[in-house]
Amino acid sequence: MRLHSPLGLIAAAWYPQQRQTVEDALAAGDIDSRTARELGYTSLPVSEHTAPPDMAVEAATEVLERSGAPAGRLSLVLHASVHHQGHDAWSAPHYVARRLGAHRAVPIGLLQQCNGGAIGIELAASRLQGDPAAGPALVTTADRFLMPSWHRWLSDYGMAAGDAATAVLVHRMAGAAEASGSPATSHPLTPDLLLHSLATDVAAELEVMHRGDDELNATPMGHSSMIDVRRTKRAFIKAYGVDFFLKTAAERIRAVVEESLADAGLAPDDPRLRHAVIPRLGSKAMEEAYIPPLRDVTSAEVLDLGRATGHVGSGDLNASLADLARTDLLEPGQFALVLNGGGGFTFTAVVVGRP
C-alpha cells in the first residue's frame, strides 16, 4: 500500500506478570530438550486471571493515555484474535470500545489468524486515507492459550504460544490532518513511529494446512477436545509435502518485502534500513521459512524480538512495533521492516521509521 503521506503509530504491549520458563516446561514434561532447542524460547507469559479483551483494554489505555488522544475521537476499534475471547456469541471488539469510551468508533473483529494485527493496521490506514473526516483508528490484539482447549507448548509445531495484548493507534500527522480537513484532536499527536508503507500478499492455497483432511463439522471443538494443529499439519505434509509450503511462502515473503521497501522509497541495501524484524515463531521455523527469502531481498540486520514472549497469537507484528517504539533500536531517521504471516495464509510487511 502506497501511502499519500506517512501515518503516525503509537504502540504498546501488555504482558501478564506470570511466566513459564522453558526450564519449567521441561520439568513439567510439556516439551523435550530437542523441541526446546528448536523453539529457542526462554519463557512464555501466562495470563490465568485476565481475559483477552481486558488485556486489550490495558494495552489500549496505555496508548491513549500516552498519546493524549480522546477515546471519543476514535473512528475505528479493530480487534484481532486467534483463540477464545472469554464468551460465546458475543462481540469482544464492542466490549473493548465500550470499556475505553470509544462511543463513536466502529468496532470490528478480525479473524485473520496470526496476521490479524497487521491486517488491522492496513485497514486503519485505508480508512484514514479514504475518509478525510475519520479520526484516529485503534488496533488491538489479545490472546491467551489455556488448557484444556490449547496447550501452549504442544498444540502446534514450530511455535509456542504466549499470552499478550497489543494496541496500536494509527493517526494522521498534524500537517496531513489539517490538509485533509480532519477535525482536530485536543492537541497534535506525537508518534512513536512513522508508517511509511505496508504490503500484503495471500496464499489461500495454504488454508488446508490448518484444516488437514477434516470435514467441516457443526459444533466447536468437534474434531478434538484440544486444538491440535500438529494433526492437520501432518495431513498437509502427507498430501502436499513441506517443500510446497516453503516455496509458496518464500514467494509471498519476497513479494511483500520488495513491495513495501519500494513503496517506502528504500533500496534493499539502504544503510538507513537498520533492521528486518521477523515473527515470533520458533527459531528453527524462522530459519527454514522466513529468514532465507528475507535475506534474498535485503541485507538489513535480522532482528528477533520474541524469545521471551513466544508467539503472541494475532499480535506478533504489533508487539514488535511496541518494542521498536519503547527502545532505542531505531535512531531518528532510521527504518525497520517488520514482517509477519498468518494461517490462511496471509503475509504482511510494513516499513516504519523513527521520527
Assess whether 6 and 150 both reside in one domain. yes
List all residues 6 or more positions away from 335 whose beta carbon is below 8 Å from its beta carbon: 196, 264, 266, 270, 272, 273, 274, 351, 352, 353
Element (H, E) at 4: strand 2-14
Q: Helices (DSSP H) in the chain: which residue ranges?
A: 22-28, 33-39, 52-67, 92-100, 116-130, 174-180, 229-240, 242-263, 283-285, 291-297, 316-326
Cβ 236 vs Cβ 208: under 8 Å: yes
Assess whether 349 and 286 both reside in one domain. yes
Distance between CA atoms of 16 and 55, rounded to whole angstroms?
A: 9
Assess whether 91 and 215 both reside in one domain. no
pLDDT digits (tens, 9 = 90+) for 288-316: 999 999 999 999 999 999 999 999 999 99
Does residue 237 have a pLDDT over 50?
yes
Q: With DSSP H G I counted as helix, E B as strand and the rest as coil, what are the percentages for the chain, rounded to 5?
A: 40, 25, 40
Assess whether 201 and 187 both reside in one domain. no
Does residue 147 have a pLDDT over 60?
yes
- Centre a 10 Å sphere on the Cβ of residue 256 and count the other Cβ atoms it contains: 24
Does residue 184 have a pLDDT over 70?
no
Cβ 193 vs Cβ 11: under 8 Å: yes
Assess whether 58 and 115 both reside in one domain. yes
Domain termination site, one of 169, 194, 219: 194
Rounded to a whole number of angstroms, the CA Rg of the chain reads 20
Domain termination site, one of 168, 194, 220: 194
Mark 120-139 as b/e (b = at least 16 C-beta within 10 Å): bbbbbbebbbeeeebbbbbb
Cβ 18 vs Cβ 47: under 8 Å: yes
Assess whether 175 and 269 both reside in one domain. no
- Which one, of 316, 308, 310, lies nearest residue 347 by Cα? 316
Cβ 76 vs Cβ 130: under 8 Å: no
Greater confidence (1 vs 147) lies with 147
Assess whether 153 and 200 both reside in one domain. no
pLDDT digits (tens, 9 = 90+) for 210-224: 999 999 998 888 898
Looking up residue 175, the CATH number of its domain turns out to be 3.40.47.10
pLDDT at 179: 55
Tally of structural domains, the chain: 2
Beta-strand pair 164-172/43-45 = unpaired
The three three-digit cell numbers of residue 95, written as one number = 466490549
Domain termination site, one of 194, 221, 252: 194
Element (H, E) at 328: none
Distance between CA atoms of 156 and 313, rounded to whole angstroms?
A: 12
pLDDT-derived band at 8, boundaries 50, 70, 90:
very high
The three three-digit cell numbers of residue 6, written as one number = 506517512
Beta-strand pair 2-14/193-202 = antiparallel
pLDDT at 180: 55
pLDDT average, residue stretch 101-125: 97
Q: What is the domain extent for residue 308?
A: 196-353
* Residues above pLDDT 90, as percent of the chain: 93
Burial class (CB within 10 angstroms; exposed 0-12, middle 13-18, buried 19+) of 60: buried
pLDDT digits (tens, 9 = 90+) for 17-30: 999 999 999 999 99
Identify the bridge partners of residue 197 per DSSP, sorted by sequence position: 2, 351
Distance between CA atoms of 62 and 69, rounded to whole angstroms?
A: 11
Distance between CA atoms of 311 and 161, rounded to whole angstroms?
A: 5
Assess whether 57 and 114 both reside in one domain. yes
Element (H, E) at 346: strand 346-353
Assess whether 73 and 122 both reside in one domain. yes
Task: Provide the whole-model pTM.
Answer: 0.95
Place of cell 470500545: 97
Assess whether 190 and 268 both reside in one domain. no
How far are the Cα atoms of 124, 287, 325, 347 from residue 140, in angstroms, in the given order?
11, 28, 16, 19
At 237, phi and psi to the nearest 5? -65, -40
Assess whether 220 and 127 both reside in one domain. no
Assess whether 277 and 266 both reside in one domain. yes
